[in-house]
C-alpha cells in the first residue's frame, strides 16, 4: 500500500466533528423540519428540495480537516481552492492549511514543497502534469477529487484511446476542465476542444457540415484546443463530455446538436464511427437544478441563490432562477445589509456586484437555494439577516 497517496481519508471523522459542526445551521434544520418551509410573521421562506454541500464537497472538506488532525506537526498545503467557497477556504487557512498560488507562468508553484509536506488536491482535481510533479517530490498526497469528476476523466481517456477527439462543454479557465482535458493528452494523439455554450457549438457544427468557417474556428478555439490541433482532421471523430457543473439541459442539447451534424456529414448509418456521447453532469448538480425548477413553479416574489461568484454550479442555479423569477445571487449573508435595506449581488452574466435597494418591498415569499460548495451556516445566516431587515426574528 502506498502511504504517500491517500484517497480514502484517514477515518478520523469523529475526531473532527467540532470543526465540521461550524458548517451546520439550526435555521436550516428548522426549515427542513418544516418541509423546507419557514414562516415568520408575514414572511415565508421556501428552501429548494436539494441544496448546498454535495457528497463530493463534504468529502473534500472532511479530508482536509482529517489531514490537519493526522499530521499536526507537518505543513499542510492545498493546490488552489479546495472548493469554490471563500469562507470554507478561509477557515482552512485559519487552521493552518496554506493555499498554493501560481507562478508568473500561470502554473502552480511547487518549488518550496518537500517530501515531509502533505499536499491536498482539491475537489476539482489537478492536471495530469501537476499530479506527476507532486508525485516526483515524494510528499504525502491527499486526493479529494470528486468521484463525478473522475467519471468524466475515464470517459475522455476512453475517447483518446479510441481515436476520438474529446469535445468538452465547459469553461476553459476552470480548474476542473483543465484537469479533465489534461487526461486526454496523456495519450499519443489525444485531442480536445473546449466550447462554452450552444452558440459556440453551432460554429463547430457549421465547420463539421460545411467547413467554410475556418477563420472563425481559429479565432474562437485556437487557445482552447490541444497542441497541434487540426480542425479538419480532428473533428471527424468526436466524443462529447462536459464539466460536471454546467447546465445539464444545455450540455445534452449540445451533444445532440453535434451528433446531428456528424450524421449529416457522414451519414446516420455510420454515425457510431464518428460520434460518442455520455451525460457526465454529476447527479448533485442535476438534483440541485431540478429542485430549483420545481421551486420556481411556485408563486415566489424573489429567489435568493447563495454561493461563491466563481462557483460554476451556483452561477448556473442563478441563471435558471433568473429566467423565471426576480433573482439575487449573493456570495454570502453579509451581502444582505439590514441597516440600509440593501443587497449586494451579482446579476447573471455580470462580472461585478451591484447594489439593490428596497429589494424586500412587497416581498412575502422568498425562495432559497445554494450551490454545492455552500455550507448550511451561510444559508441560515442569510435568513437571519433578511428577518433583521424586516424587523423580525426567529422565536425559540
Cell of 146: 470528486
> DSSP labels for 285-339?
HHHHHHHHHHHTTS--SEEEEES-TT-HHHHHHHHHHHTTS-EEEESSGGGEETT
Cell of 335: 451581502
Local structure of 50: helix, strand or coil: coil
Among residues 19, 62, 175, 176, which one is catalytic?
176
- Longest CA pairwise span in the chain (Å): 68
Catalytic residue status for 176: yes
Q: In what order do the strands lie in the sheet with 302-306?
A: 37-40, 43-47, 365-370, 302-306, 327-330
What span, in angstroms and rounded, lies between the C-alpha atoms of 78 and 89?
A: 10
C-beta contacts of 10-16 below 8 A and 24+ residues apart: 10/63, 10/66, 10/67, 10/69, 10/70, 11/66, 12/66, 12/69, 12/70, 13/62, 13/66, 15/66, 15/69, 16/62, 16/65, 16/66, 16/69
**Residues recognised as catalytic:** 176
Amino acid at each position: 500500500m502506498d502511504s504517500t497517496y491517500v484517497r480514502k481519508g484517514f477515518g478520523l471523522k469523529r475526531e473532527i466533528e467540532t470543526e465540521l459542526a461550524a458548517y451546520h445551521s439550526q435555521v436550516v434544520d428548522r426549515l427542513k423540519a418544516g418541509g423546507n418551509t419557514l414562516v415568520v410573521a408575514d414572511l415565508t421562506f421556501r428552501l429548494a428540495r436539494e441544496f448546498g454541500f454535495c457528497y463530493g464537497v463534504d468529502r473534500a472538506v472532511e479530508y482536509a480537516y482529517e489531514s490537519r488532525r493526522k499530521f499536526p506537526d507537518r505543513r499542510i498545503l492545498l493546490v488552489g481552492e479546495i472548493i469554490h467557497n471563500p469562507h470554507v477556504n478561509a477557515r482552512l487557512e485559519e487552521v493552518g492549511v496554506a493555499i498554493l498560488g501560481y507562478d508568473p507562468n500561470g502554473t502552480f508553484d511547487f518549488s518550496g514543497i518537500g517530501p515531509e509536506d502533505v499536499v491536498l488536491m482539491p475537489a476539482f482535481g489537478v492536471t495530469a502534469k501537476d499530479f506527476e510533479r507532486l508525485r516526483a517530490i515524494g510528499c504525502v498526497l491527499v486526493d479529494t477529487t470528486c468521484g463525478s469528476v473522475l467519471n468524466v476523466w475515464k470517459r475522455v481517456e476512453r475517447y483518446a484511446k479510441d481515436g476520438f477527439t474529446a469535445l468538452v462543454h465547459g469553461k476553459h479557465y476552470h480548474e476542473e476542465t483543465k484537469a479533465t482535458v489534461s487526461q486526454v493528452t496523456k495519450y499519443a494523439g489525444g485531442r480536445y476542444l473546449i466550447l462554452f455554450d450552444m452558440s459556440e457549438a453551432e460554429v463547430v457544427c457549421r465547420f463539421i457540415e460545411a467547413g467554410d468557417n475556418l477563420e472563425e474556428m481559429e479565432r474562437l478555439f485556437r487557445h482552447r484546443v490541444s497542441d497541434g490541433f487540426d480542425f479538419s482532421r480532428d473533428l471527424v471523430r468526436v466524443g462529447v463530455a462536459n464539466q460536471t457543473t454546467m447546465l445539464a439541459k444545455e450540455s445534452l442539447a449540445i451533444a445532440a446538436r453535434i451528433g446531428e451534424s456528424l450524421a449529416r456529414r457522414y451519414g446516420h448509418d455510420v454515425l457510431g464511427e464518428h460520434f460518442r456521447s455520455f451525460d457526465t453532469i454529476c447527479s448533485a448538480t442535476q438534483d440541485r437544478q431540478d429542485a430549483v425548477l420545481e421551486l420556481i413553479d411556485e408563486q415566489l416574489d424573489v429567489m435568493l441563490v447563495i454561493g461563491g461568484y466563481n462557483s460554476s454550479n451556483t452561477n448556473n442555479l442563478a441563471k435558471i432562477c433568473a429566467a423565471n423569477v426576480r433573482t439575487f445571487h449573493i456570495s454570502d449573508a453579509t451581502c444582505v445589509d439590514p441597516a440600509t435595506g440593501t443587497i449586494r449581488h451579482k446579476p447573471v452574466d455580470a462580472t461585478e456586484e451591484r447594489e439593490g435597494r428596497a429589494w424586500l418591498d412587497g416581498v412575502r415569499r422568498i425562495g432559497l437555494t445554494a450551490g454545492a460548495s455552500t455550507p448550511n451556516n451561510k444559508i441560515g445566516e442569510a435568513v437571519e439577516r433578511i428577518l433583521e431587515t424586516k424587523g423580525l426574528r426567529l422565536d425559540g
